[in-house]
Structures are given as structure tokens and as C-alpha cells.
Amino acid sequence: MNNTRTNKTTSINSFIQEIDINADRTIQYFMAGYYVFGFILAFFYDTWLIAAASGSICLFIYLATKTLLPDSYLHRYVASAVLAVFMAQFIYQMHGLFEMHFFAFLGAILLVVYQNWKLQLPLILLVILHHSSFAYLQYLGYKEIYFTQMDYMSMQAFIFHALLASAIVFVCGLWAYQLRIQTVNNAKNMLLLQEQVENTHRSIAFAETISLGNLDTEYHFSTSDELGTSLQKMRNSLLAARVKEEEDKFINIGMAEIGQLLRIANQPLEELSIQLIKNIVKYLQVNQGGLFVVEGDEDPQLVLKGCYAFDRIKHQQKSFKIGEGLLGQVLLEKDSLYLTDLPQNYIQITSGLGKANPTCLLIVALKNNEQLIGAIELASFEDIPAYKRNFMEKIGETIAAALSTARNNQQTASLLVEVQLINEQMRSQEEEMRQNMEELQSTQEELERKVSAYENKLQDKDELIRNLESRLTQFPGQENR
């Protein structure tokens, strides 16, 4: 705004300076004419000395002032005084001819070309001084003083004469003043028109640039250029829309790529974590990253499952408990964290990415149904833009769900293996029990056979006893003996 005003003032001053230069040229022509006119009068009135001396001195003073002080306006005030002196010279050369006074009025009119009312002051002061001084001398009786061919001029006539001359000079000064105002206004209007034309051409060029899709070109328009300002706003809107479109495209493509990676079935948790952090670090163009998963129910902690840095996978074993470092803080608060301008060794102390010294750190909490599943830690030497952070927040829930599923699948697989081991043990025990049952059954059958044989022996014994008893009853006398 100030630069525009300064440039406009400079242009107006240049325009006025050109008018002053033309006025200087005009005054110089008239001075040369006055000088020649003095010699012409000398032919008729034999006043060669006055013509040569007075005219040469006037021209010398004017040219000397203009030459010695080229950057000053003093020579113009000298020109005003010189015109008054030429008037006096012509009066003397004409022996007081009254009509020569009109050269003062002609000089006042000539000074109007400068459009500076102040230049009228030296002229009128010298005219009044000249008339009053020599009128006084003439009043004292010096008849040889050529002021007028009149024998006597009363004070009243002198005053009217002076007032009339002052009035004419005042009108010329007022004329010069009004011309200067009109000139300045015309210059302003011309500059305004020129500025509008330039603004129009600039706006056309800007519109053509926009039509070609080049929205990064900078154009500076003044506040008075409504068309340019409107085009600038339109460009800014289009640029913002393009940036928003590119950011949305970045988010959508990233989510599609991560989603495609997550759709691979039956991935081990560690392998999925490594692939996820590898793709995220590359896609976001950060320096390094780590993916942590919550483990433990009673004493939960974030355990590093995948780390990728500087185009290579890093295998590290790290874990953070509640409140331990930045990751422990995230585990406690279950909220994401973004830090910039980190101290040189800050990340080595409180973060989980080794010896790197980034300036920006982003930790995204991975939550599924308000339950913290894990966290992703990204470090960069440059600022991570808001749209990339927004992308991580959006993809975080999807990653959390995938990690939860992978962890559940891993736990299920582990339980399945354990169940299979238990089943194998039960089958082995069942086979052993079957063999024992078979042995027991065989033993039982053998025992039954032995019992049956023993019972048969008992029956045979009982039968034998009965036979013996039967035999004894047949011999009673033997029994008495």
C-alpha cells in the first residue's frame, strides 16, 4: 500500500518535473526575446549601454544560477525577478513610456507556465519596490528618474496603480495555483487510467495462467484492483481445492493400499506389523517408524512388533510399561501425540526408535472400540503435515482392528495347538487305559477260570467226602470199635 502510494507520488512529481522543464525552455526563449528587444529599442532611443549592461547582467545571473544549482528551483525565482528588471529596463530605454509597464503583466502571465503561484512574488515585489522608490525620488524633484512621462503622480494614483498590478499578479498566481491542481488531478487520473490498463493486462495474463492450470504463479494486485483481487481469490480457492483434492487423494490411496495389505488372510502378527510399518514409513516419507502392540492383562505394556528405518527393517526387542516414556504416556492416556522441535537426544531417552535424533515425533494410538490395541511411532527430520497426521488417525482404527484380529487369531492358533496337544495326551492316556482294561479283562477271565477250576475241585472234594461218608455208613460195627 505504501509502496503504491510512493510510486504514484513519484510518477506525479515526474509529470510535474516535465512541465517545469518545458516552462524553463519557454522562459528562456522569452528572455532571449527580451534581450534582443532591448537592442531593438536601442536603435530608436540610443540606449545601447542600458540594453547591453542590464540585459547581459540579467541573463548572466539567471544562467549562472541555473548552471551552478542544477537541482535547485532558485533559478525560477531569479527568472521572476529578471522579468521585472527587464520591464524597468524597457521603461528606462523608452524614457518613461507608460505602456512599458505592461511587460510586468506579460511577465506575470509568462510565469503561469510554471503553475507555481509563489513565483509571482519576486516579480510583484520588485515592481512595487521599483515604482515606489523611483516615484519617491521623482516626487523629491529628480526629473531624470524615468518612472513615467507624467509630470506628477499622486499617492492615490500610485496606490491604485500598485493595487491594480497586485490584482493582476494575484489573478495570475491564482491561475497558476488552479492549473497546478488541475495538472495534479489530470496526472492522477492519467496514472489511474494507466494503472487500470496495466491491471487489466495483468489480470488477463493471470486469468490465462489460471486457465492453463498453473495455480502456483504469484501475482500482486493492489487493493484498488477489484478484478485482480477477485482473480486472486479465485486462484486461492482453486489452489486450496487442488490441495484438498491432493490430500484427499493421498488419504484414499493410502487407505486402499493399507487396506489391501490388511486383507491378506492368516498373517502372523509380527509379519503383519513389519509390513504395515514398512509401507507406512515409505508412503508418508518419514525417516523411521515403529509399531507396538499391547500385551498383558494385569500388567499391560507396549511391545515392539515391527520397526522400519532408513530403507531397512530393524529387528529390536523393546517394550514400555504404563507411564514409561512417551509410549508409556500414550498407553496411560490412550491418545495420540505430536511433538516438534525435539531436543537433540530427547528421542533416545523417552522414545523407542533407537539413536536417531528427529525433530518431529508422531505417536498414533491404535484403538478398537475404545480399547487400546497398540501404537505407531513415526519420526521425521521434517514437519509431518496435518493431512498426513489426519491420514494416520483415520487408518489407525482399521489397523487396530486388523492387529486385534491377528492377535486373536494368533491366540486362537496357540490355543488350538494346546488343545491338540491335550487331545494327543488324552488319546495316549485312553490307549493306555484301553490296554490296561484289556489286561484287566484278561486277568479277570483268568481269575474266573481259576475260580471255576477251584470251584470244580471243591465240588469234586465235596463229592469225594460224600462218597466216603456213604461208605462209612455201610460199616457200623467198625465205627463202634
CATH code of 402's domain = 3.30.450.40
Determine, yes or no, domain membership for 70. yes
Determine, yes or no, domain membership for 420. no
Residues 189, 312 within the same domain: no
What is the pTM for the complete model shown?
0.51
pLDDT digits (tens, 9 = 90+) for 285-341: 888 888 888 887 777 888 888 888 754 444 455 777 777 777 777 777 878 888 887
Q: What is the 3-state secondary structure (H, E, C) of 356-423?
A: CCCCEEEEEEEEECCEEEEEEEEEECCCCCHHHHHHHHHHHHHHHHHHHHHHHHHHHHHHHHHHHHHH
Residues 405, 321 within the same domain: yes
Determine, yes or no, domain membership for 37. yes
Residues 134, 273 within the same domain: no
| Sign of the Cα pseudo-torsion (43, 44, 48, 54, in order) | negative
What pLDDT sits at residue 430? 81
Determine, yes or no, domain membership for 432. no
Residues 44, 187 within the same domain: yes
Other beta carbons within 10 angstroms of residue 261's beta carbon come to 17
The one-letter amino acid at 59: L
Euclidean distance between CA atoms 252 and 391, whole angstroms? 9
Determine, yes or no, domain membership for 130. yes
The one-letter amino acid at 101: H
What pLDDT sits at residue 217? 65
Determine, yes or no, domain membership for 124. yes
What pLDDT sits at residue 36? 93
Residues 31, 171 within the same domain: yes
The one-letter amino acid at 270: E
Of 370, 386, 413, the domain-final residue: 413
Of 196, 213, 241, the domain-final residue: 196
Determine, yes or no, domain membership for 12. yes
Of 413, 431, 465, the domain-final residue: 413
Q: CA angle 73-75-76, nearest 5°?
A: 70
Q: Domain limits at 42?
A: 2-196
What pLDDT sits at residue 208? 67
Residues 178, 35 within the same domain: yes
Residues 60, 172 within the same domain: yes
What pLDDT sits at residue 35? 92
Determine, yes or no, domain membership for 480. no
What pLDDT sits at residue 224? 60
pLDDT digits (tens, 9 = 90+) for 374-422: 888 888 888 888 888 888 888 888 888 888 787 777 777 777 777 788 8
Residues 276, 376 within the same domain: yes
**Structural domains of the chain, count:** 2
Pairing, β 360-368 against β 371-380:
antiparallel
What pLDDT sits at residue 56? 92
Residues 388, 286 within the same domain: yes
Residues of the chain with pLDDT under 70: 1-11, 96-99, 135, 138-139, 141-155, 157-158, 199, 202-203, 205-232, 234-236, 265, 310-317, 342-356, 474-481
